[in-house]
Structure 1
Amino acid sequence: MYFVTVAQLREHFKLDILTPNIDYKDRKITQCDVNRPALQLAGFFDYFDQTRLQVIGKVEHTYLEKIDDEEERNRKIKKLMDFADIPCIVICREEINPFPYLLQCAEQNGIPIFKTDLPTSSFIAEANRWLHVELAPRLSMHGVLVDIFGEGVLITGESGIGKSETALELVKRGHRLVADDAVEIKKVSAKTLLGTAPEVIRHFIEVRGIGIVDIKQIFGVGAVKETKNIDLIIRLEGWDQTKQYDRLGLTNEYTDIMGIKVVTNAIPIRPGRNVAIICETAAINFRQKKMGYNAAEALNNRVMNNLQKNNLEM
């Protein structure tokens, strides 16, 4: 199970600590969803996931503020704060001041409380996005990830087939390297795969015969990128005369990565082929298809229309 610490959350969002006596550095957040405990403060605890980050905004605070009976208000607060597995609570909006009893219960149960000036909806949106990335399912693949004309292209193939050399040529042609050799892939949504490089080898390429090359130092910061969505896979493979390769592109081949199907082009390699230009063309062609134009379908329609025209003339 992946997790982030409450300390990482505080550092990322620059949160103010309201319970300085509570040690929160080892507390973990394991759920990527955020909860506003409005229903829980009203007394409904069915399906309450206490392991989620809890956010109190203007609605929750106003509800408690309008309870005239202080004992009843404290009872509602205590019932929520008795869930000691709550990783932390974040209070949003600058004008909201927490109830003293809320801080008292937090101290008793060891639940850290933080404050942010952000509006509640804005903080929840940013927290959800950040947690979905940090806690996403992930795997590592052998390959090279390059940003080509804005498309994230994962180049795969057997060891020694020329993936790193192709990436080096693409960088020289103005594209950006994300990862070489090992690509860490996170499934950040039902349709999105995010690729990055392991921190220890980030911005480095291994070129056989030369050794390790630091792309950032040689080509500058404009030649590298930290993360990139994986939009297209190009699989390099040795030329096989007995295999039938796709020459039209009317149908797509896919690779399944953690349940997401990614369009895949199999590129046969033989001496004399400029693989970098082929990768550029594949990326542009893929982008055209996303924008609604398919060259293979356009050619097919032109041929069919021409055949129908000739049949009518006959």
Structure 2
Amino acid sequence: MPKKVKVSDLASKFQMEVVSGSEGLKRQISVADLCRPGLEMAGYFEYYPEDRVQILGKTELTFFEKLPEADRKDRMTRLCREATPCVVITRGLDVPPELMDASASTGIAVLRSHVNTTTLAGQITDFLEHKLAPSTTIHGVLVDVYGIGMLISGSSGIGKSETALELVKRGHRLIADDAVEIRQTAENVLIGNAPDLIKHLLEIRGVGIINVMTLFGAGAVRNNTKINVVVKLENWQQDKQYDRLGLDEETTRIIDTDIPLVTIPVRPGRNLAVIIEVAAMNYRLKRMGYNAALQFTNKLTETINEDMDEME
């Protein structure tokens, strides 16, 4: 089901005055894009994006005031449609009487802010993109390791929280334990955070729930981070062939984004925290253009070719 934001949420967030159409505060905003209806003020409504928040600034209203009275009434009547969420007036400008009449007849809220048009448009866009971004919740632990967002997944009881605790002790930062809320804020960009109820909390079996920020300080936690790598912990399977070179780069899909996947087999004696640290550093090196597995394979191929030449 598509996400929506109420007009009342927008008015409350930016402390905007409700000038007219208070019944329209219950209307829903379903798109993050905004519209500054300059062409519409000139009478061109053929491609009018009626489902967007309409922002009228000094440019639009100055032009509007120069129109004949009949045209002014027509423009505002056509601007306020059934699908229009609301109209926002910036810079604290006066609301045209024609807009007040159209608002009264259609029930569309007219909001007013004293912030300048460009600044307010940017702020509203950021707010709506955050609220309307596709999202999901995944069972796992999210940790910032050397600036890399590592989402640790695996079956219950395999040691995700204990590994996160060890990483925190080694100077890294916890974002979420048990449940990770993930938003896709842009193409191929996933941002993860903890639900408010369990923020900064970590569950350790045998000890119970601990507050990481209280125990280790504010530097041991983050509110959110970009997810770069998914680390899957699984019980060691004797008959399974695990990647030993790192040439096979797996991915997993979250929402509409493919994220690199690292599968780590778990068995006694393996230090998972250190392995995850190395996986984070290796990811950074790959992003900088250095691939150790590829370098090794190329050198091996060169050595084999040289030996073959000598034998000939």
**TM-score (norm. length: structure 1):** 0.89
> Structure 1 residues 306 and 185 mapped into 2: Cα distance closer, same or farther (>3 Å)?
same
For 2:119 and 2:244, how far apart are their aligned partners in 1? 49
The SS at the match of 2:245 is coil
Give identity over the alignment, percent.
42
User: What residue in structure 2 maps to residue 55 of structure 1?
Assistant: 55
Q: Evaluate the alpha carbon distance shift between residue 11 and residue 221 of structure 1 in structure 2; reply closer, same or farther with a 3 A threshold.
A: farther
Give the direction of change, closer, same or farther, for the CA distance of 1:75–1:47 in structure 2 (3 Å limit): closer
Which secondary structure does the structure 2 equivalent of 1:187 belong to?
Answer: strand
Aligned to 2:40: 40
Contact 2:20 2:111 (8 Å CA) reproduced: no
Q: Look up the equivalent residue of 1:70 and give its one-letter code.
A: E
For 1:130-279, what aligned pairs fall within 5 Å after superposition? 130-279=127-276
Distance 1:111 1:142 in 2: 41
- Flag as ranges the 4+ runs of structure 1 deviating above 6 A: none
**Which AA in structure 1 matches 2:89?**
I
Aligned positions of 1:16-165 closer than 5 A: 16-19=16-19, 22-23=22-23, 25-67=25-67, 69-81=68-80, 83-93=81-91, 96-165=93-162
Letter in 1 for 2:65: E
Instruction: State the one-letter code of the partner of 1:6.
Output: V
The separation in 2 between residues aligned to 1:116 and 1:311, in whole angstroms, is 77
More displaced stretch, 147-156 vs 25-34? 25-34
Q: 1:116 to 1:167 in 2, by over 3 A?
A: same
- On the 8 A contact 2:72/2:98 being kept in 1, the answer is no
Q: Partners in 2 of 1:225 and 1:56 — Cα distance?
A: 38
CA distance in structure 2 between the partners assigned to 1:21 and 1:91 by the alignment? 14
- Separation in structure 2 between the aligned mates of residue 107 and residue 76 of structure 1, nearest angstrom: 15
Give 1:88 deviation, angstroms: 1.8
User: How far does residue 20 in structure 1 lie from its aligned partner after superposition?
Assistant: 6.2
- Per-residue deviation, 1:64: 1.3
Paired residue for 2:7? 6
Q: Distance in 2 between matches of 1:231 and 1:116?
A: 38
CA distance in 1, matches of 2:110, 2:217: 42
Q: Distance in 1 between matches of 2:244 and 2:58?
A: 60
Q: In the alignment, which of 270, 293, 302 is matched to residue 299 of structure 2? A: 302
* Offset at residue 152 of structure 1 (A): 1.1
Local SS of the residue matching 2:31? coil
Deviation (angstroms), 1:238: 0.5
How much has 1:140 moved relative to structure 2? 1.4
Following the alignment from structure 2 to structure 1, what is the Cα–Cα distance between the partners of residues 265 and 101?
A: 68
Residues 158, 73 of structure 1: alpha-carbon distance in 2 compared, 3 angstrom cutoff: same
CA 1:160–1:18 in structure 2 vs 1: closer, same or farther (change >3 Å)?
closer
Write the distance in 2 (CA, Å) between the matches of 1:280 and 1:21.
Answer: 56
State how far apart, in whole Å, the 2-side matches of 1:119 and 1:303 are. Answer: 63
Q: Is the 8 A contact 1:19 1:106 kept in 2?
A: no
- In the TM superposition, residue 93 of structure 1 has moved relative to its aligned partner by 4.0
Offset at residue 282 of structure 1 (A): 0.6
Question: 1-side partners of 2:12 and 2:220: how far apart?
Answer: 29
Classify 1:23/1:215 alpha carbon distance in 2 versus 1 (closer, same or farther; 3 Å): farther
- Whole-angstrom distance in 1 between the partners of 2:19 and 2:230: 49
RMSD across aligned positions (CA): 2.3
Query: Which secondary structure state, in structure 1, belongs to the residue aligned with residue 72 of structure 2?
Result: helix
Q: Where does the alignment leave 5 or more consecutive residues of structure 2 unmatched?
A: none
Q: Residues 177 and 25 (structure 1 numbering): CA distance in 2 closer, same or farther, change over 3 Å? A: farther
Per-residue deviation, 1:30 = 2.0
The question of whether the paired residues in 1 share the 8 Å contact of 2:4 and 2:132 is answered with yes
* SS of corresponding position for 1:233: strand
Residue 288 of structure 1 aligns to which amino acid in structure 2? L
Count of aligned positions: 310
Q: Using a 3 Å threshold, how does the CA distance of structure 1 residues 122 and 305 change in structure 2: closer, same or farther?
A: farther
Following TM superposition, by how much is the alpha carbon of 1:108 offset from its aligned partner in structure 2, in angstroms? 4.1
2:19 aligns to what SS in structure 1? Answer: coil
TM-score, normalising length: structure 2 = 0.90
Cα drift, residue 311 of structure 1: 4.3
